[in-house]
Structure 1
Amino acid sequence: MNPASPKRSAIRVVVVDDSDICCEVLTEQLEADGDIQVVGTAHNGRTALARLAATKPDVVTVDLNMPGMNGLALIEAIMVDDPRPILVVTGLDAKDRDLAVAATARGALELVNKARAQDEQASAALRASVRRLATVAVNRVTPTASQPVMGSTWPTPHAADQPYTPIVGFGSSAGGPQALFEILTALPSDLPAAIAITHHLPADFGSAFARLLRSQVHFDVEVAHEPIVPSPGLLVLAPGGMDLVLEAGSLRAHRPATTALLCPSVDVLLTSLAAAPGAHVGVVLSGLGLDGSAGLAAMLAAGKLTIVQHRASAAVWGMPRAALPSALEVLDTAAIGDAIVRWVRERARLRGHR
């Protein structure tokens, strides 16, 4: 039952969807507990921009399939003109999920499935996402000069690492795909390293994320349904709802601990890279929370290269800020790629490969 009036401190939301019925359902679901107020609705991107300018909401929910300026174009415009947290509310078929994952590379911070009017569990998840995003400060992403924080004194190569293919482990969450795709598309196809990615996504969007990567990058993208031996030019993901670890020389999917809050866990991947032989690299990109800080600390202690995305190029500074004490390098996205190439090629020469 909706309260008669929202609280003064209610979270302010603009709902963007071309369907009147969807706008009504979303409004009812969002306002059910009284701490969220829908301050405007819009049926296309152009109208949405006017609503945002007039109401200055804390969070925007966006449907992607709209006439005129669609959801992807709207997200790009918001992130350029007036960045704020964007939650994509999407349909359930594969095409919708592909578009939703693409939206995270444009600036959307989280994804949820559209819930039926009487689906209380899904409605509660929608409100939880809005509450979480309302606390997030979204940065206008701007390029900046690279800024090493520890003098760029890289670890001395270990002889024991030489037979092993280096693995570059990326961890990201809200706002991370923008940086991730910029880095991956700039890396050379002959990079003498494997890549492992842990990006926070709902489990049912994992396949869509893999499809997007295959369409955008020049690496071979594999999902670790079975153990995969890392090799140069290979990019590995965990299946949806699973963690990714380096274990016994292979990248493998593991079921997360029952107490895990986030999956796939960045800490789990980076901690496994820290414990394994090889000149591995840990990179923490834009995201909410603390995930990745413990794993990057373990990699630093183990003599691996540790990199954190610079604040000026990170849409959300939470994860990079938490990992900052363990970063040998704090770099913008363009410079992250350069550092990775330099590190792995130097160690490839030590292994006698050219």
Structure 2
Amino acid sequence: MALPEDAANNGKEGEPVGDNGFIKQSESSPCASGSPAAMASLQKHFQGKDALNYANILRSRNKFADALALYERILEEDGAKVEAYIGKGICLQMQNMGRLAFDSFAEAVRIEPHNACALTHCGILYKDEGRLVDAAESYQKALNADPSYKPAAEYLAIVLTDLGTSLKLSGNVQEGIQKYYEALNIDPHYAPAYYNLGVVYSEMMKYDTALSCYEKAALERPMYAEAYCNMGVIHKNRGDLELAIACYERCLAVSPNFEIAKNNMAIALTDLGTKVKLEGDISQGVAYYKKALYYNWHYADAMYNLGVAYGEMLKFDMAIVCYELAFHFNPHCAEACNNLGVIYKDRDNLDKAVECYQATFSNRGRFEFSSNL
């Protein structure tokens, strides 16, 4: 029951950017976007480094068109201004003009081949086009130029993880695993790489290793709902119901509407209810069944087992309601029909009992026939 690898969304390119071209908090600008005449008047007051600084300020405040005009004016005066090419590329990128943006970044790289920022932005545009290998090469060049340049490392880890998933889905599992480990070698804190390793190891039935990977993913990203959910699946399949429930609770605390986790929680609680009931604590079993139905109110197994518990407690009216609902939610639940028949027979309602027994036989027949298809 491992979840898909694309659960984590890594897209970052569409958010406001800072002076180095990477994400920062959006700010409100004290300057209204000006007309061309107004911009020309403002530009006269800025020369050289002042003009570049002002363009960067405009860009940081999402005034991309105005910043672009100023970068272009700067480049008319000095065609070798690498920072202006990078700023121009970012403005074009933020206005969805990817090809022109790439040309601007490429020109910056031509002038300054070891500029980590320009190389990283080239990688971002390659990734947007689905050219993951080219993106990885561009990020790697940026890191070779400046090993301390954190954005290049972060983006390289993302692309290597995407490459790993692509390889795994195409059947090259070991190569995919290698890419995940390469991503973690670049960025040891990149949670989706740990998570995807957990998925692979779960599919390989190496559950201890998978649990370790999921735990590391959750440690690096405490809001990683999918990691908690998958940990719960492993614990549940091992019979560690309390641990499974604790994982699902953590998952749902992070993502209350996570339907897969809610369904998994209902299953684990139902199993735990049956376990404690068989151990002699029928009241606690009923409590667990009710809690299971809180998470998935149409889970037929929980409703059926609640009916069994009420029957054992001689609360037959409540048992009837539960059996009828179980059969409603799962028309193949022949046991619910049979148990209803027993209750009606004991109450001398033979017509109703016969009707239930006939339904029991009919549903068992349909189930057995369908299972042979």
Question: TM range, normalised to the smaller chain?
Answer: under 0.3
Flag the structure with higher helix content: 2
Instruction: Indicate the structure whose relative CO is greater, using CA pairs within 8 Å and at least 6 residues apart.
Output: 1
